[in-house]
């Protein structure tokens, strides 16, 4: 164990997901088990979401929807602007929490994903890549704290998808010896972690969650998201449209698999529309798409799931939670809050944990999840 890292140190995690709804910051402490098992206890010391500067958020959403292209100069500037925004969020979290700066061993910064295309095949001349922006040098310099970033690309280099990266933490915090469980993260994209009583931990993306619904709601109502699913609840599911959406070949791919806005964006929706659909009906159908794609994935990979523990922004969409409950009969669908973990900060806590793994020289990925050739220590370390 490196001298600069200890199991009980505080770590600060930063992430902005594909929904670009804010920069999540979490300060967490991780306690190593005393019973010799691999389970780690995470204690959330402080968690808060800090807003993006509106103009920058608009640009990031447009880039995610393929509505804007960048020159190299613009790309470099954007990397700096995102890094500065993450640094400001980290500094604000430290101030708001009252935690002493020197008590934080490291910051784990995910950055902002602009593209995630892991399905390239080198022998076909198609190069896989994932791109997260947010200059970690700037975060380390402005915060005066060691910063760990660029977590996904090492897994890609080892033949994996670079995602999802948190199933190992989910397994440590939320698995049960009594029942098969799944952790469902409803961010811009939905992903599952499968936690069977017997067998290996697996995880994969299931398709769109909030990203498509948010984009559609913004276009037709001016609101950034569909609060409580009210727009969806006012419409009717278009069964024919839903079938066309579920016919997307990506859904039939076996795990490991991951995706992003470059796969599921407004142009993708428009490609299956006839043009006379009401906005509310489309929103209802997009919500049904999330519920059905999650349920289909569970039936195919862990049909005896007894409990689905939900985190991410989608947990606050009452209509979506009802749809998931109906789509997954026989399983309890409930927030991770019922198990002592704030659903809004699971991802940020996860990147705090990944920073800890890196400093301890421990792997952060699970090859059974990402498809990588083996366990890898993830991320690059930027000294203050």
Find the angle CA(79)-CA(148)-CA(165) to the nearest 5 degrees: 95
Q: How high is the mean pLDDT of the chain?
A: 93
Read off the pLDDT of each residue in 54-60 and give the average, rounded to a whole number: 93
Q: Is residue 159 within 8 Å of 374, Cβ to Cβ?
A: no
Exposure string over 35-50, b if 16+ CB within 10 A, otherwise e: eeeeebebebbbbbbb
Q: List, for residues 206-265, the tens digit of each pLDDT value.
A: 999 999 999 999 999 999 999 999 999 999 999 999 999 999 999 999 999 999 888 899
pLDDT of residue 64: 77
Angle between helix axes 54-64 and 210-221 (nearest 10 degrees) is 120
Q: What is the pLDDT of residues 309-319, one digit of tens each?
A: 999 999 999 99
Is pLDDT above 70 for 1? no
Task: Kindly report, as residue ranges, where domains of CATH 3.30.420.40 are found in the chain.
Answer: 10-164+345-382, 173-339
Which tokens is 195 given? 């936690």
Grade residue 117 by pLDDT with cuts at 50, 70 and 90.
Answer: confident
Whether the pLDDT of residue 137 is over 50: the answer is yes
pLDDT at 262: 80
pLDDT digits (tens, 9 = 90+) for 312-345: 999 999 999 999 999 999 999 999 999 999 999 9
Percent over 90 (pLDDT), the chain: 85
70-87 mean pLDDT: 97
CA distances from 384 to 37, 143, 150, 181 (A): 34, 8, 16, 40
Phi, psi of 116 (to 5 degrees): -140, 105
Q: How many CB atoms lie within 10 A of CB 270?
A: 10
**CATH T-level assignment (fold) for domain 10-164+345-382:** Nucleotidyltransferase; domain 5 (3.30.420)
User: What's the CA gap between 85 and 13, in Å, rounded?
Assistant: 14
Residue, of 149 and 124, whose pLDDT is higher: 149
* Phi-psi group of 208: left, alpha or beta (phi > 0 → left; psi -120 to 50 → alpha; rest → beta): beta
What CATH topology corresponds to 173-339? Nucleotidyltransferase; domain 5 (3.30.420)
In the prediction, which pLDDT does 44 show? 95
Helix H or strand E segment including 333? strand 332-335
Strand partners, 116: 130
Read off φ and ψ for residue 43, nearest 5 degrees. -115, 115
Measured CA to CA, the distance from residue 285 to residue 290 in angstroms comes to 9
pLDDT score at 7: 44
* Sign (positive or negative) of CA dihedral 177, 181, 187, 189: positive
- pLDDT score recorded for residue 108: 98
Q: Measuring CA to CA, which residue among 175, 153, 190, 143 is closest to residue 294? A: 190
**82-101: average pLDDT:** 98
Whole-number pLDDT of residue 127: 87
């Amino acid at each position: 164990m490196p001298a600069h890292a200890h199991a009980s140190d505080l770590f600060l995690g930063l992430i902005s997901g594909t929904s670009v709804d804010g920069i999540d910051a979490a300060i967490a402490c991780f306690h190593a088990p005393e019973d010799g098992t691999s389970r780690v206890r995470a204690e959330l010391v402080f968690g808060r979401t800090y807003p993006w500067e509106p103009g920058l958020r608009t640009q990031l959403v447009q880039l995610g929807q393929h509505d804007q292209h960048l020159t190299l100069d613009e790309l470099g500037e954007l990397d700096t602007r995102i890094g500065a925004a993450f640094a400001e969020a980290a500094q604000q979290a430290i101030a708001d929490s009252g935690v002493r700066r020197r008590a934080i061993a490291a910051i784990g910064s995910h950055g902002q994903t602009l593209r995630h295309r892991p399905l390239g095949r080198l022998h076909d001349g198609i190069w896989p890549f994932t791109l997260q922006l947010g200059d970690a040098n700037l975060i380390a310099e402005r915060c005066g704290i060691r910063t760990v970033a660029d977590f996904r690309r090492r897994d890609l280099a080892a033949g994996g998808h670079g995602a999802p990266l948190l199933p190992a933490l989910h397994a440590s915090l939320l698995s049960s010896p009594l029942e098969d469980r799944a952790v469902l993260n409803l961010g811009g994209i939905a992903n599952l972690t499968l936690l069977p009583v017997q067998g290996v931990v697996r995880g994969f993306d299931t398709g769109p969650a909030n990203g498509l619904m948010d984009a559609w709601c913004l276009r037709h109502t001016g609101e950034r998201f569909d609060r409580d699913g009210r727009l969806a609840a006012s419409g009717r599911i278009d069964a024919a449209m839903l079938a066309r959406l579920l016919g997307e070949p990506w859904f039939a791919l076996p795990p490991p698999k991951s995706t992003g806005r470059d796969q599921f964006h407004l142009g993708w929706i428009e490609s299956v529309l006839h043009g006379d659909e009401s906005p509310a009906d489309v929103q209802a159908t997009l919500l049904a798409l999330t519920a059905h794609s999650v349920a289909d994935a569970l039936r195919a990979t862990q049909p005896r799931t007894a409990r689905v523990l939900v985190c991410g922004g989608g947990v606050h969409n009452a209509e979506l939670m009802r749809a998931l409950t109906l789509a997954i009969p026989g399983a309890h669908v409930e927030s991770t809050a019922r198990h002592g973990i704030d659903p809004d900060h699971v991802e940020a806590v996860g990147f705090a944990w990944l920073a800890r793994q890196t400093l301890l020289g421990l792997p952060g990925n699970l090859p059974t999840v990402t498809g990588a050739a083996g366990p890898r220590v993830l991320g690059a370390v930027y000294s203050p």
